[in-house]
Each structure stands twice: as C-alpha cells, then as structure tokens.
Amino acid sequence: MSTHAFFHKVLSFAVALLLLAQLFVSLGWMRDNLAPIIEDPNRSYDEKMRFQLDGYYELMQFVQRETPRDATLWIDSAEHVNLDLYFLFPRKIYYASDLAARMQAVDYLVLTGEVAAPSVEGEKRMLDDKRGVIRLRR
Amino acid sequence: MNVLLALTFVVALTILGWLILHGLSEPSGGIERMGLAYPIGVGVFTFALWLPPLFGISFSPTLVIVIYLLLGAFAFVWARRNSSRETFSLAHFAALDPFELAALGLIALIFLVVCIVALYWSPHVWDELAIWALKGKLIAANVSPSLAAHPYYPLNLPYQIASLYALGSESVHFISVTYLGSLALIFFAHLREWSSRRNALLATTVLCATPFFMFQSTIAYANLPFTFYYIASTLYLIRFLKTQSVFALVFSALLLGFGAWTRAEAPLYFAINFATLIIFSLRTPSAKKHGVAFAAVFIALAAPWTLYAEVMGYGGLFSAASNSAREGFGKLNLDALNQTIRFMLQRPFLFKDWGTLWLALPLALILGWRQIHEHKILLTLIALNIVGIIYTFYAVAAGSAANLLEWSLSNGFDRLAMQWAPLIVFYFGLALHKSSIMENVIPMPRIKLDPYFILLLLFSLFAIGPLLGPGYFWGAHDGRHSVYFLFEFDRAIQDGVWYPRWAPDFTFGFGYPFFNIYAPGAFYIGEFFHLLGFDFVTATKIVFALAMILAGPAMFAFVKRLTGSSQAAFLSGLVYVYVPYHIVDIYVRAALAELVALIFLPLTLWGFYETVVNPSRKALVAAALAYGAMHLSHNGVALLFTPVLIAWILFQLIGKIKRQEESLRIYVLRFTRAALVPFFAALLGVGLAAIFVVPAVLEYQFVRTDQWLSNYYDYTNHFAYLFQLFSPFWDFGISVAGPKDQMSFQFGVVPALLAIFAIYSIFKNPNGMRRYWLFFVGLTFVTIALMLSFSLPLWETLRLVTFAQFPWRLLTLTNVSLAILAGAIAPYEPTESPNHPLPHSTDQQTTQLSLPTVLFGILIVLGSFPYLTAPTTVEAAEGPVSILGLLKFQQSAGEMTGVSSWVEEIPTWSPMADVYFAGRRVKSKIEFSDFNPDVLYFGVKQDGTGLRSNGETVEFDAQDANQIVTWNIDYYPGWHVYLADKVGDDLKITRELPITREGKYARIQVSIPQGRHWLLLRFEDTLPRIVGMWISAASILIALGLLFIKRKN
C-alpha cells in the first residue's frame, strides 16, 4: 500500500470516527432530554417549574398565593432577584439593605430561609419552618 | 392552544419574510429563501414593533396583530410588484443515497426531539428567566424592559417573547427551534454551492447534532438567533468576496444589522467581517465603495437601538467598548490571557457539550491542506473570531478580579463561541469535498425521495394533533380497553411469556385467553415503546399516532404504483388519513388494533397487484407479509377485507388473462397458472400469522360469545341510513338502533366530492387505468348497499355478521375505495399496459409541487379539521393505570369481562378484587375458604413471586389424601396442574393432576395427594397453538428462502 493510500485510509477512518462520535453524543443528548418528558408527559406548568427550579418555585407560588398583585414586598435575600421579579411581577420588590427606610411602604416580608429572619411584628404565614411571608401590622 | 399559537406565530412571520424575499431577485434558491424567511420576517417585525412605543402607543395584542397585518400587506404588494420567478423546488433532495437519507433522517429526528423538548418546557433556565423571558413579560405588561438584567441587551428576542405572551402562549422556546432550522437551511444551501450534496448534508448533520446547538434551540437565549444572523451574514460576505455580487454584500451587512438587535456584541463581529472585507478586497478598484456600503447598511440598522440605549441610560456599546478598550489595552495581564487561552483549548474535549465539532477543525486542516489557499477567506474569519473571543474575555478580566474571569468564561464562553462555531463545520464540509473522501469511501445507490411523499407526511401531522397534548381520550369507546389490553400484554411479557395468550386480570382476576383470540400485533408495538420507558398511556398514544401517520404512506405507495402519479398518490394518501371514519376509528372509537390494521389494506392490495401483474418471488413474499401483518393486527379487519382481496385478485386475473383463440380448458389452465402466485402469497400470509390464526379459529369455540352478539350487539339494529353517510354530524357517542346514532358514519364532504369528480374524470379520460378506478367505484357502491337496511336478507343469507360485527363497520372498506378514487382526479399519463414491470413515474417534474394539487391537499385537511378533536382528561375516572384501575373499569363498565364457554354465569366480583380494593397484593389465586387449614397448609411466597400471569407455583402440606384445591381462574384449554417435589434447588414434576371445572365460574380444581409437595399451575400451548407456531416458523423460513436462495438457471 502506498503512503498516500495509507494516509487516505487513516483520514477516512478519522472522518468516520468523528461522524460516529457526533451521532452517539447527539443520541445521548436526545435520550437525556427526553427522559424527564417520557417520565411524565402530562406535567402541569407548576409541576414543570417545580421540577426545574426545585424549592424556590414553591416559595414563589406561596408568595403569589399569599400576597395581592399590588402588594409591596421586602425579600430578605437578594440571591434570586430576577426570579423574584419574573414570578412576582407586578408586585413591587425591595431587598435587604433598605428595610428600615422602606418599612412604611412595605406590606409583606418574604422569608426565603437563606438568612436569619428579621424580628418584626406581623401575621406570619409559613410554607415550612424557615420560609414564608409576614404581613406587617400597621 | 399554547403550542398552536406558537406555531401560528412562527408560520405567520415566515410567510412575511418569504413575501419580502419573493420581491427580491436574489437569493434565488428555495432552500436559501426558506432559511432566511423567518429571521428576515422577524427582523422587520421587531423593528416595526419598537417604533410605536416611541410615540406613546402601548404594546398590546392588538398592536402585534395590526403591525403584522400592515407589514404583511406591504410585503404582499412588494412581492406582487417585484415577484421573482423562482419556484420552490425540492431538487436538492431528489434521488438521495442511503447515506444521505440517513443524514437527513438524523436531522429530522433531531428537530423532532428539540421541538418536543422546546414545546414541553416553559422558560425555566436562569438567564432566560432573568433576562429574555422577563424582558418579554415586562414588554407584554407595558412596563419598561430596563427593569430586567442588562437593560441594553437588544429587543429582537424580547419582542418575540412579548408577542407570544401577549397573544397567550408560553411556548416561547419554539422561536429558538425555528432559528436552528433556519441556520441548518442557510448553512446547507451555501455549502451546497461549493461541495457535493453528501458532504453538505454531512456537515449540516454535524452542526445540528452538536449538543450545545440542540440545547440552545430548546431555550430562549439570544445567542442562537445571533448565531443565525452572524453566520448568514458571513456566508454572504464569502459569496461576495468570491463572486463580487453586490447583492451578497448588502445582504451580508443587512443580516448583521438585524443581528445587532439580538446581541449587544454585534459590533465586534461587524469589526471582524469588516476587516475580512477590507483585507480581501483591498486590491479591487471598488474596495472603498464596498467597505462604505457594508458599514453604512450595518450602522443604519444597528445604530437606532444602540443610540436609544445610550440615551435612555441603559449603557451598552459605547460605554462597554470604551471600558473594554481602556482596560484591555491599558495594561497587559498575562495571567488573564493564559487563563482564557487554556479555557479555550479545553473546548475540543468537552464532548458532552460540543460533540466532535471542534475536532473537525484540525481534521479539516489536514484534509484540505493542499487547497488551503482556496479557503483563505474562511480561515481568516475563523482566525479573527478566535482572536475576538480571546480578546473579549481578556478584556473582561483585565480590569477585574480573576474570579470574575472564571465566572465569565464558564457562563459565557461557550455561548459566544457558538456564534461562530458553524464556520468550523462549514470549513470541514469544504475540506471533505476537496479531499473526496466521502465520495470514494462509500459509493451507494440513489433513492428517490418524492416531494409529494414528504408533503403527505407533513400534512398528516395535523391528524395526530389531539394526541400531542396532555391527557388521553379515556371516554372514547375503547379508550380504556386499548390501554388496559397493553397493560395485560405487558404483564405477560414481564413474566417472560414472549407470545402472550392469557390475560390474567380480565374478569376480576379470573383471567381470559384474550390474546389467543384477539390479534396481538398492535400490542407488540405498544410494548416496544413501553419497554423503552414510556408509560402505558403514552405508549398507546404513540401506537395510535404511528398508525395514523403510516396509513398515508401505505396508500401513497399503492396508488403511486398503480398510476405512476405522485400527485394521485398524494391525494389518495391524504384522503386515507383524513377520511372521517378513520378519525372516528381513532378519536371516537379508539380502536387501536383496527387502526393499525388499516395500514395494511393498501399494502395488501399493492402486494397482490404485483403477484398478478409482475409475479416474482419478491412480490409473493411482499404480498404475504402485508396480508399476514393484517391478520396479526386485527382479525376482524382481515376477515372483512379478504372477500375484497379475492375480488381484487380475480379482477386482475380476468384483466390479464384474456381469452384468445383457444379452448376453454387452455384458458382455464392459463388462468389457474396465473392464479397460483397470489394463491400461494395468501397461503404464505396466513402461514406467517398462523401462530395466531390457527388457535384463534380452532379455540374460538371455547369462549362465550353470546354477550357480544345479542341485545345491544344485535347487528340488525346497526344498519346505517343513507343520509348519515353524507351528514356532517359529529359526536363521540355510540351507535344505537334507528337513525339517531351518537356517532358519525359520514364519508366526509371532501372525499365524497372527490369521488364524484373522480367518476366524471374516469369517463372523460379513458385509458388503461379506467378499469381499476371502476373496480373501486363498484366497491364503494356495493359497500354502501351492504351498509343499508334493505340488504338485511343478504346479511342473513350470507351470514355477513361473521365478517363484520355491525353493518356500519363496512366503512372500513369505503375508507379504502374513496381514498383510491381521490387519486383519479390528479393528472397522470395513460398506461397502455398495466403489465409494467417497474414502478414508473409520469409526473412531468417530480421535484416540483403543483399548486392545484397542494390546494386540493389543503382542502382535504381542512375538510376534516373540525373533527380532529377528542375530549381528553389526564387521568381516567378509575385512577392511574393499575390492576386496581382495571378492576374498577370492569366493575363500572362491565367490560373486559369475557369468559370461557364453560362458565355459566359471568362474574361480577371475585376474591382477588376484594384484595386489590383493600390496597393489598394478590399473592395466590387459590380459593382459601374451601379447606380446613389444620388439614391442608399452603406455603405461599410472601413476595408474590409464586403467582405469575401464566400460572402459579405453590408448596402444600396435606394431612389427608384427596384434598380439593380450587383456583379462582376460569378453565380454558391449555391449563395444566402438575405435582412436583423439590430436588436440590429445582422442582421435579412427578405427575400431572387431572383438572375438573368447578361451579358456575368453571374454576380450575384438582385433587391433591397427602404429604408435602409442590403444585405447578401452568398455562401451556395446546396442539393448535403448537401447530400454529410451527407453521409460522416454517412460513418465515420459506419467505426467507424465497427472498435469499437463488435458483440455478
């Protein structure tokens, strides 16, 4: 076999390997991404969000239920600013640093469980031990 | 509705883009235009949506629709005035070789999967919620998008999301799938200019199969849209530099300008492409003019948003660019540079995200090193992009802490690299072509892909629409049955029974030999999907969908062979899918097995047509396979269709074997000889299905059928009325005595009209085909007559109820005849002799679509569209699919309560039902209340493994001889009870115990001896089952032999 023919065969093998590897990788992706859908094709929107965002979505749902749409909220952690805005819009949201300054405007405190709860008086409604909302008493 | 709105949105903007492109003389290729249509349409639409709020007009669904209608009107006028004369041609995909077909199949699979994934999830990924979806939500709510992160990020994607939100759809991910589709089309079209179709398809497959691209097409990030605009712009730039087409240059700048509305880093990519333009056109006389034109068009499109963002204080290009330049060039940070380059060099080995995409670059360089000068433009672009991405991240790091660089690299590098990665694959495609490796390595025969066939598949998708949503039509006639038949089938398969016959949980657990008398084909397919991981409901829905979709291609294949016309085949295939009774079968009756069998009716007609017209071993085996598959799918349909098949074969033979000047004896001999091939094909078909057919025929007598033939099931109450065949009435109820049936028996307005036109067409176009059409006209009229009550004497005389349970079920036959007749209106050339040896095509241009035929197709779909609905619920009233659910169904509906012929009274409850309803598991079906536990002790395995779908194994200790043991299982031939003793770890059978049938339920009863032994209850094969199995095995061998053993001359 000539050197040229040899290299030709090696390159053909490399191309075939590259294509096959791409095929297997793509099939793996398809399998992984279809698996949760196959597991339950009929999930509701809430179930899908719970599946993807885990516990934080539960808190968002809880706050949605417990607070009116025109409420002003103070959330004790600014860890999920954009999720808060996406799910709690059109409620107005303030964060940790300015509770004292905004106290008059705030209707509800949202406890995410990620930091120690502030000591304020109000009607407490809890999702679990650490997470919930406090309706401030005026 | 959610999904439908998203689809409508995408289609509407694609039409807008298509109209705009239609008014341009270039690009001329249909694939290229299709690739550009949505991104161009959406680019114009976004810009137009951005303007009204500047003048105080609020964003609203009305605004979205008004803007679209205005743009659509302008585009329509534009397209009419400047209409280019191209036709949409599928010539690119004509005559594919198997390798190309596989590549195309993989691309189709990828798009199917990404569509499913994209449509399933609403926005949920961190950045899409934080930036893009939030911006869309804010715009839709008429709130400033600056509230979202990165306010200077442009508005192309947010406006699309906002429009969908405003219109009421959450399926925003579908936008990204569309961009991937557009990218694939434009990529393929450009690569095809410089390389062979095989290489272009392979490179496109590598691109689409890259996991990172697939993932990006299932979420709402702006990177994939920008990738499209940048790559399309770059490909047009390359075209300009190679051909000096000014149009290509302007289009390149235009696309990049649209891209500036998707990602803020567009100016960097402009700089890269502008530099490439200058480098490679420097020596041309018009270099300055071209450079100015390119920059001017880009700036004209990109500047409005950039300036607006600066004015509104969102930040953006100027501030970012000046900061980056100051920081990046101000001081040299070798650590940051080193970190960035190291990160980049890891990419080729990140297979899970990138597959082998990056490895394609070194391979392409080796493959194409001799022609490297030919690809210098592309390689320059790749090199500049590599420099660009390194600089981007270096600049991020230069002015900030190192950990920010790490964060930026891990969060942003891949997305930015994706924006130019297709150039690598493009180069790989070119290098593949230049090296000729693929052409030399795999020479393959070409397979012609008919565009009408593809169109048929696409048009058929609407028919499975109701199956794509959540839930299932539990209330349909056999909706529950279909799922629970599969459930029972699976119980047997899971117990290692490869050919199930006994359904253990029928009739409250007494069991029934259901699969011994009911064809199991559909359930094997369902079981395949269940074993893949789908639950019972989804697996059943998949079989329904496949049966619906595959019916069209089956009819297409037959009519194409019969007429040689793809257009006729297309119309027939489409009518077969959409004829109302076909829709009744799926969404009203939920008759799974029958629906699967319908696939094989046209295939059987085709197969037996070949055995007469073109007799060969292949034809014989093909006909046998189709006929056998029909038997294995639904025995009722096979029985009903067999007389038609016999008539079809005789009709062919009479047409072929014309009596010449010969004696009657010679004529009969010739006739008989010609009839031998179809006869043996039918015999082989039945032989293939013998494993089911033989026991079903011989052991049918051992089940009680009176409950299915009397009272409601009296066929004399179920004749159709003539008006019902033409009435548009539709409902989901049942057939009742008299004319007020609660279900439809209509032919459908379009199939009926097409059949009428077909009759006119047949008489106006006398040719070799006329007699075939007349056969199906005759079949239609005979079937209609048999469905009406005046044919009652015939039903009684010929005992037609043996063939069809109810007269209206003959609609199965009109499904076939009406569908075939629809093809008669299509243009086709006369065939002088039907004895053509090979399929022939008489379509003048098979790669082009005829508008009238496509419009007829649309009419067929629209005619049945209102019926494509089914009342679905997520869960049945009986709860989740389980044995308990099945028992509740039996209790509430009295269904799935078949019994053997020895049973005197149909059970309405059982001891097993008591256990299941108490929430426990049945571990033995022995009737424990019958004996004294002090005298007889049973060692039932507490893990329940002693009881299986086809029997039970149990240990006993009897103090006295002749103790009686009864199982709560109906007796049926095949049940045996053996006495066994333990030898080591194995059970050794010592003798068989004679079975007696106990009581009104004919329960299995045996007398057992004294001592400690084992009882083995087994459902085994009887002589008919064994004979059937061996006939099937022999038939398979004969079929294989006919196909593969060559006869010596």
Confidence of residue B11 (pLDDT cuts 50, 70, 90): confident
Q: Give the per-residue pLDDT at B838.
A: 40
Please give the span between the terminal C-alpha atoms of chain A, in angstroms, as a whole number.
Answer: 92
d(CA B951, CA B511): 11
Six-digit token pair at B865? Answer: 């569209």
- Report DSSP letters for B324-367, one per residue: HHHHHHHS--HHHHHHHHHHHHHGGG-HHHHTTTTTHHHHHHHH
d(CA A20, CA A13): 10
Question: A30 touching B, CB under 8 A?
Answer: yes
Range 64-83 of A in CB contact (< 8 A) with B: 81-83
Chain A positions touching B134 (Cβ under 8 A) are: 82, 85-86, 89
CB contact under 8 A, A18 and B363: yes
For chain A, give the mean pLDDT. 84
Q: Which residue has the tokens 């055995």?
A: B611
A75, B63, B139, B266, B394 from B320: Cα distances, Å = 31, 33, 24, 12, 14
CB contact under 8 A, A85 and B134: yes
d(CA B646, CA B626): 15
Burial grade of B577 (CB within 10 A; 0-12, 13-18, 19 or more): buried
Q: Give the per-residue pLDDT at B550.
A: 96
B494 closest CA partner among B944, B918, B895: B944
Q: Give the per-residue pLDDT at B138.
A: 85
Contact B38, B6 (CB under 8 A): no
B983 strand-pairing partners: B986
Q: Which of A12, A49, A53 lies at the smallest CB-CB distance from B441?
A: A12
d(CA B414, CA B907): 66
Q: What is the DSSP letter of B133?
A: I
Question: A34 touching B, CB under 8 A?
Answer: yes
Contact B582, B815 (CB under 8 A): yes
B696 closest CA partner among B998, B1031, B389: B1031
Q: Give the per-residue pLDDT at B91.
A: 60
Q: B299-303, B557-561, B838-842, B846-850: which range is least confident on average? A: B838-842
- pLDDT higher than threshold 90 for residue A101: no
Stretch B741-748: mean pLDDT: 93
Six-digit token pair at B847? Answer: 């790669």
Q: Which residue has the tokens 């008004």?
A: B66
Chain A positions touching B109 (Cβ under 8 A) are: 30
> CB under 8 Å to B34, separation ≥6 — which residues?
B18, B88, B185
Question: A1 touching B, CB under 8 A?
Answer: no
Q: Which residue of B has its CA nearest to A19?
A: B206
Indicate left, alpha or beta for B315 from its phi (over 0: left) and psi (-120 to 50: alpha): left
- pLDDT higher than threshold 80 for residue B441: no
Question: Tell me: the pLDDT tens digits for B459-492?
Answer: 999 899 888 877 899 999 999 999 999 999 999 9
Angle between helices B422-435 and B376-398 (to 10 degrees): 150
Q: Give the per-residue pLDDT at B625.
A: 96
The C-alpha of B438 sits at a distance from chain A's nearest C-alpha, in angstroms, of 8
Q: Give the per-residue pLDDT at B181.
A: 95
B768 closest CA partner among B717, B848, B840, B701: B840
Q: How much of chain B, in percent, has pLDDT values that exceed 70?
A: 92
Question: Tell me: the pLDDT tens digits for B676-734?
Answer: 999 999 999 999 999 999 999 999 999 998 877 777 788 888 999 999 999 999 999 99
Contact A45, B474 (CB under 8 A): no
B499 closest CA partner among B686, B696, B348: B696
Burial grade of B641 (CB within 10 A; 0-12, 13-18, 19 or more): buried
Question: A6 touching B, CB under 8 A?
Answer: no
Q: Give the per-residue pLDDT at B523.
A: 96
CB contact under 8 A, A86 and B129: yes
- pLDDT higher than threshold 90 for residue B298: yes
Q: Which of B125, B209, B360 lies at the smallest CB-CB distance from A23?
A: B209
Chain B positions touching A83 (Cβ under 8 A) are: 126, 129-130
d(CA B1003, CA B902): 9
Question: Tell me: the pLDDT tens digits for B824-846?
Answer: 888 765 444 444 444 444 444 45
Chain B positions touching A41 (Cβ under 8 A) are: 120, 470, 538
Query: How many CB atoms sit inside 10 A of residue B890's CB?
Result: 25
Q: Give the per-residue pLDDT at B852.
A: 79
ipTM at complex level: 0.87
d(CA B201, CA B332): 44
- pLDDT higher than threshold 90 for residue A8: no
d(CA B704, CA B809): 22
- % helix, strand, coil for chain A, step of 5: 55, 15, 30
Q: How many beta-carbon pairs under 8 angstroms link A with B?
A: 123
B1012 strand-pairing partners: B957
For chain B, give the mean pLDDT. 87
Question: Tell me: the pLDDT tens digits for B91-110?
Answer: 666 677 778 888 989 999 99
Query: How many CB atoms sit inside 10 A of residue B1034's CB?
Result: 14
The C-alpha of A123 sits at a distance from chain B's nearest C-alpha, in angstroms, of 30
- pLDDT higher than threshold 80 for residue B211: yes
d(CA A25, CA A9): 24
Q: 3-class SS at B919?
A: coil
CB contact under 8 A, B351 and A18: no
Question: Tell me: the pLDDT tens digits for B582-603?
Answer: 999 999 999 999 999 999 999 9
A44, A119, B30, B431 from B92: Cα distances, Å = 42, 71, 9, 21
Q: Give the per-residue pLDDT at B832.
A: 42
B500 closest CA partner among B476, B470, B520: B520
Q: Give the per-residue pLDDT at B88.
A: 53
- pLDDT higher than threshold 60 for residue B318: no
Q: Which of A14, A19, A34 lies at the smallest CB-CB distance from B202?
A: A19
- Residue B1036's Cβ-side half-sphere holds a number of Cα atoms within 13 Å equal to 9
Q: Give the per-residue pLDDT at B149.
A: 67
Q: Which of B117, B124, B141 lies at the smallest CB-CB distance from A33?
A: B117
Question: Tell me: the pLDDT tens digits for B883-918?
Answer: 999 999 999 988 899 999 999 999 999 999 999 999
Q: Give the per-residue pLDDT at B844.
A: 44
Buried b / exposed e over B959-982, threshold 16 CB at 10 Å, is eeeebebbbbbbbbbbbbbbbbee
Q: Give the per-residue pLDDT at B840.
A: 42
Stretch B647-668: mean pLDDT: 85
Stretch B337-361: mean pLDDT: 88
Confidence of residue B768 (pLDDT cuts 50, 70, 90): low
The C-alpha of A4 sits at a distance from chain B's nearest C-alpha, in angstroms, of 12
CB contact under 8 A, A82 and B134: yes
Task: Select from B124, B135, B170, B199 the residue whose CB has the most chain A CBs within 10 Å, as the one to mutate to test that interface.
Answer: B124
CB contact under 8 A, A49 and B124: yes
- pLDDT higher than threshold 80 for residue B940: yes
> CB under 8 Å to B206, separation ≥6 — which residues?
A18, A19, A22, B355, B356, B357, B360, B425, B428
Q: Give the per-residue pLDDT at B444.
A: 63
CB contact under 8 A, B363 and A26: no
Q: How much of chain B, in percent, has pLDDT values that exceed 90?
A: 55
The C-alpha of B866 sits at a distance from chain A's nearest C-alpha, in angstroms, of 24
Contact B935, B959 (CB under 8 A): yes
Query: How many CB atoms sit inside 10 A of residue B221's CB?
Result: 24
Contact B534, A38 (CB under 8 A): yes
Q: Give the per-residue pLDDT at A99.
A: 66
Q: Give the per-residue pLDDT at B236.
A: 95
Helical ranges in B368-441 per DSSP H: 376-398, 402-408, 414-418, 422-435, 437-441
d(CA B828, CA B824): 9
> CB under 8 Å to B1010, separation ≥6 — which residues?
B958, B959, B960, B961, B963
Of all helices (H) and strands (E), which one includes residue B952? strand B951-958
B720 strand-pairing partners: B788
Cis ω before A90 (30° cut-off from 0): yes
Question: A126 touching B, CB under 8 A?
Answer: no
Q: Give the per-residue pLDDT at B831.
A: 46
Q: Give the per-residue pLDDT at B837.
A: 41
Chain B positions touching A93 (Cβ under 8 A) are: none
